[in-house]
Amino acid sequence: MKVAIFVSGRGSNLKAILDSHELKNLVKVEAVLSDKPDCAAFNIANQYNIKTYTVGEGEKKLKSDEVVAVLNELNIELIILAGYLKLIPSELIDNFENRIINIHPALLPSFGGKGMYGMNVHRAVFNSSAKVSGATVHIVNKLYDNGKIIAQQCVDISDVKSPEEIAERVLEIEHSILPAVVKAFAENKIKFDENRVVIVK
Ligand code: GAR
């Protein structure tokens, strides 16, 4: 299965996918795209000889119709948002319906929506005094963090002393749950019911 990965920052989830032994013979990362040309994730892509593209408004950035054209040209079957912080243009959603997934660092539908990314999420979870957090992988629709949930895993945070500690625990989960969902896509195990998305055994 050919995939494209959208990133904005550090790229640890990108690396988790690239280093996954389980995905080695199943998944090929054909392109890494970012709204930030100087993001650390692009360095990772370069180390693995993967093509990089900068997207968004402004000079030398691919506009949404160009992004769709590039992804179609590369025969991309699944788009993975791995720490991509911008809203995905509707043109892309329409062209890749149910084939765009996102990793979110909390248990949706709580602690999601516009502005809820990275440490903002962990700070909100910490301040709520919640006793569990976790990671969610979901289908991307036209709203932030709103699509159907594919997989979730939770972690006990009852003893944490800071939002950073929550981030650390959740990130560990992210690095296993995201490759697991990508594997399920590659093995055609993701099924769309009328109301639910399920991973079949
Ligand atoms: C991850 O924790 C990811 O869940 C989060 O950004 C981080 C990116 O880290 N995404 C969001 O908050 C999206 N709403 P990474 O660049 O090391 O993968």
- pLDDT tens per residue across span 68-114: 999 999 999 999 999 999 999 999 999 999 999 999 999 999 999 99
Using the mean position of ligand 1's atoms as its centre, give its distance from the Cα of residue 162 in Å. 18
Q: When comparing pLDDT for 175 and 194, which is higher?
A: 175
Nearest CA, atom 11, ligand 1: 117
Angle, vertex CA 178, rays to CA 10 and CA 116, nearest 5: 60
Strands 28-34 and 2-7: parallel
Q: Which of ligand 1's atoms lies nearest the C-alpha of 112? A: 14
Per-residue pLDDT band for 17 (boundaries 50, 70, 90) equals very high
pLDDT at 68: 97
Q: How confident is the model over 173-188, as a mean pLDDT? A: 98
Active-site residue, 122 included: no
- For the cut 90, the answer to whether the pLDDT of residue 59 exceeds it is no
pLDDT mean over 65-69:
97
Q: Which residue has the tokens 């560990």?
A: 172
Polymer length of the chain: 201
Question: For the chain, what is the total number of helices (H) and then of strands (E)?
Answer: 6, 9
Residue type, 141: N
* pLDDT recorded at residue 92: 97
Higher pLDDT, 193 or 101: 101
What is the predicted pLDDT for the residue at 193?
A: 87
Q: Give 148's contacts (C-beta < 8 A, 6+ positions apart).
A: 138, 139, 196, 197
CB 22 within 8 A of CB 1: no
* CA 82 to ligand 1 centroid distance, Å: 6
In this predicted structure, which of 14-23, 41-50, 57-66, 103-112 has the lowest mean pLDDT?
57-66
Average pLDDT over residues 187-194: 94
**Residue range 2-199 in CATH 3.40.50.170:** yes
Q: What is the mean pLDDT of residues 117-126?
A: 97
SS3 state at 90 = helix
- Residue 194: pLDDT above 90? no
Question: The dihedral of CA 135, 16, 47, 63: what is its sign?
Answer: negative
Choosing from 21, 104, 122, 175, which is the catalytic residue?
Answer: 104
CA dihedral 123, 126, 129, 131 (to 10 degrees): 130
Q: What proportion of the chain, given as a percentage, has pLDDT over 90?
A: 96
